[in-house]
Amino acid sequence: MIERTFARQRKLLPFASTASGGMEIPFYQVDVFTDHIFGGNPLAVFTKGECFQENQLQQVAREMNLSETTFVYPSTKDEADFDVRIFTPSREIPFAGHPTLGTAFVLRMNGSVTSDPIRLSFKAGIIPVWAENDKGFMQHPPAKTLHELNHSESIAKALGLSVNQLDGTLPVQVVSTGFPALLVPVISLKAVQGIALNPQILKEVLGPLGIDMIYPFCRETVKTENTVHSRAFAPGLGIPEDPATGSVAGAMGAYWANLAKNDADITMTIEQGYEMERPSLINVEISKQEGKTQQIRVGGQTQAVFKGMMSI
C-alpha cells in the first residue's frame, strides 16, 4: 500500500505498524533539474534507510522503477552529515547527479539538516551540496578522461546512426567525475532526436570499456540559450533512457572545458529529456587555471511531487 499526498509538507509521516505486523516507512518523490513537476528526472528518497534489511534495498528500487532510488543513513564519518546509497532498478551505483541534488533537497525540506553545504557520503566519496537561490549545486569529484575512441561504425550503429552523422570535429571520449560514460558528439539535433538504440551493439561497445552509459550530444539545441542537447542510455542498469544525468553533466562540462584553449571560467546549460517529454535543464560551472579544470559544479532546480508510506 502506498499513500500519496501531493503537498510540500516539511515533517515526515510518523512510523506505524501494519496490520500484518510490518512497518510503514516514509519516502519522498521529487523531480530534479526542472522548474515544474512532471519534468526533469524523478527520484525516490527514503530518509530512514536503516529501517530496511540489506536484501530489501534492491527490491524497493525495482518496485519504485525510477532511474534511481536513494536510501539515507546516519553518517559513519565525522566529515559528512549523512551516508547515502543509490540504486537503479538493477543494481547499486557509487554516485549519480540527480540523486545527490534530490536527496539534499528532501533533507532540507523535511528539516533533517539546516547547514550549508550538506555533506553527503557516497561510495564514490563525500559530495557537498549548496542551496543557492532556487537551485541546488553539488561539487563533483575531479574529472578523468579514461579513453578516446575513433568515430567508429559500431558506435554509430549502437545509436542507430551512420558514421557521417557523428561530429568528426569533436572527440569521442569516456569521461568520468565518479560515473563514467561514453560521450559521443552527433552532427545535428535532428540526428540526436532520431536515435534508435541497438542494445546488442551497445553492449558490444560498452562492455570492453567497463562502462554502462552512452551519452550522445550535439551543439544544436531546442532552446537557443542552452549550450548542448543530450540524451543518455544505460539499459544495462535498467535505465532505457535517462531524462537528466547530473553525474555525466559534470563529465560533459570537463569535456567542454578541455576544448577551450584558455583559462576562462565556463558556464553551460545542458538540455536533456525532451524526447521523453520530461524537459530538463542542468547548469554546469567549470573553473580553470593554467589550462586545467580546477572545480566542477553541477546544479538545477528540484520540485517536490509527493510523499508516501511503503509497507514492509
Question: Residue 51 to residues 29, 48, 64, 211: CA-CA distances in angstroms?
Answer: 18, 6, 17, 32
Per-residue pLDDT of the chain (312 residues; tens, 9 = 90+): 333 333 333 333 445 555 445 789 999 999 999 999 999 999 999 999 999 999 999 999 999 999 999 999 999 999 999 999 999 999 998 888 899 999 999 999 999 888 889 999 998 889 999 999 999 999 988 899 999 999 999 999 999 999 999 999 999 999 998 889 999 999 999 999 999 999 999 999 999 999 999 999 999 999 999 999 999 999 998 899 999 999 899 999 999 998 887 778 889 999 999 999 999 999 999 987 766 667 899 999 999 999 999 998
Residue 19 has a pLDDT of 47
11 part of a folded domain: no
263-284 confidence digits (pLDDT tens)? 788 899 999 999 999 999 999 9
The C-alpha cell 539538516 sits at 113
- Residue 248's Cα: distance from chain center in Å? 7
The verdict on 110 and 251 lying in the same domain is: no
The verdict on 65 and 209 lying in the same domain is: no
9 part of a folded domain: no
1 part of a folded domain: no
C-alpha cell at 271: 538540455
CATH code, 156: 3.10.310.10
99 part of a folded domain: yes
The verdict on 118 and 189 lying in the same domain is: no
Q: For residues 312 and 310, what is the distance between their CA atoms, to the nearest angstrom?
A: 6
Task: Judge contact between 46 and 52, C-beta under 8 A.
Answer: yes
Q: For residues 113 and 163, what is the distance between their CA atoms, to the nearest angstrom?
A: 50
- Residue 68 catalytic? yes
Q: How many distinct structural domains can be found in the chain? A: 2
CB atoms within 10 A of CB 169: 9
The verdict on 288 and 175 lying in the same domain is: yes
The verdict on 158 and 120 lying in the same domain is: no
Q: What is the dihedral of CA 164, 166, 167, 168, to 10 degrees?
A: -60
Cα–Cα nearest to 219, from 177, 169, 265: 169
The verdict on 174 and 199 lying in the same domain is: yes
- Say which residues have a Cβ less than 8 Å from residue 78's Cβ, sequence separation at least 6: none
71 part of a folded domain: yes
Catalytic residue among 24, 50, 68, 92: 68
Q: For residues 274 and 281, what is the distance between their CA atoms, to the nearest angstrom?
A: 10
Q: For residues 224 and 222, what is the distance between their CA atoms, to the nearest angstrom?
A: 6
The verdict on 289 and 307 lying in the same domain is: no
Question: Residue 18 to residues 22, 48, 59, 306: CA-CA distances in angstroms?
Answer: 5, 17, 19, 21
The verdict on 174 and 222 lying in the same domain is: yes
The verdict on 148 and 121 lying in the same domain is: no
What is the secondary structure of 139-178 as a DSSP string?
A: EPPPPEEEEEE---HHHHHHTT--GGGB-TTS-EEEEESS
The verdict on 109 and 256 lying in the same domain is: no
Residue 187 has a pLDDT of 98
The verdict on 250 and 157 lying in the same domain is: yes
8 part of a folded domain: no
Q: In terms of residue numbers, what domain contains 59?
A: 16-138+301-311
Residue 292 has a pLDDT of 66
Residue 190 has a pLDDT of 98
The verdict on 168 and 296 lying in the same domain is: yes
Q: For residues 134 and 146, what is the distance between their CA atoms, to the nearest angstrom?
A: 34
125 part of a folded domain: yes
Say what the pTM is: 0.88
114 part of a folded domain: yes
